[in-house]
Amino acid sequence: MRLDDLFRQGQFVVTSELAPPKGTDLSQMLADAELVRGRVHAVNVTDQQSSVMRLGSLAACHVLRERGFEPIYQLTCRDRNRIALQSDLLSASALGIENVLCLTGDYVSLGDHPEAKPVFDLDSVFLLQAASVLESGRDLAGKELTGTPSFCKGAVVTPGAEPVEPQILKMEKKVWAGAQFFQTQAIYEPEKLARFVKAVEHLNVPIMAGIVLLKSAGMARFMNRNVAGVHVPEPLIAEMESAPNKAKKSVEIAARLIRAAKEVCQGVHIMPIGWERRVPEVLDAAGL
């Protein structure tokens, strides 16, 4: 079911994330998907995340949909011009894929092909607008379509950014361009999330809190140094450092963050980053 329909029904929407393989063997991705069958409403399928070349998100979404999962097609602007982006959106619609998360994309220098030429013909705001234009029955050149797509369009936001005002301005532009829900960057400070949600309540758009599973104190410190807008507080780092069972403590922290997010958000998006097997434990601990 489309996410906008779930939000209209008043459901607390839960999504998780899958990465396509670097190759054609889908067995691990499908096994990871089975872990959350019936436990989450939809699964995000990443699009060359961190600029690392993998199997395409569109193909992976199609395979998952054929197996009874509701995919969220992540689409980035980094590797395609506006012709290819519009074509891929139409292709997704033709395959019955309606949930789309529109992203600008990471710089190629971060990935495994740093010599690649980035495109960035559009950014995430204009990609949302392109999807909205297609829904009107025309393309960005004003040409009429034969058959019109319909999407549930999502976007991302970083509540922990400092300063946060540019994020709010960008969020307003994304809503204007057609965004119907937002998934946030990883959040470890519930009070900051609550303040952000309060600051954007005038937009009247569902927000899903992003939950990244901490694997270690070292991972937390790495994110603090290298991931813009993400801050893991020292008390959480100390908890991870002193915990005899890191996985159990990670699940406990994630469940705690989800319970806090449930007070202010309309859903959560869990990003396991290699710990897909822990997602059912997190859902159990959070009472979802």
Residue-range domain boundaries for the chain: 12-286
What DSSP element (H or E) covers 267? strand 267-271
Residue 269 is which amino acid? H
- Determine the Cα–Cα distance for residues 216 and 161; give it in Å rounded to an integer: 23
pTM of structure:
0.94
Spatial contact of 18 and 276, defined as CB atoms under 8 Å apart = yes
| CA distance readout (Å), 63 to 24, 37, 138, 181, 254 | 12, 14, 28, 24, 29
pLDDT of residue 50: 87
Q: What percent of the chain has pLDDT over 70?
A: 100
Spatial contact of 185 and 156, defined as CB atoms under 8 Å apart = yes
What does the pLDDT look like over 137-162, one tens digit per residue?
Answer: 999 999 999 999 999 999 999 999 98
CATH number of 12-286: 3.20.20.220
Give the CA diameter of the chain.
62
What does the pLDDT look like over 162-181, one tens digit per residue?
Answer: 899 999 999 999 999 999 99
- Determine the Cα–Cα distance for residues 132 and 6; give it in Å rounded to an integer: 20
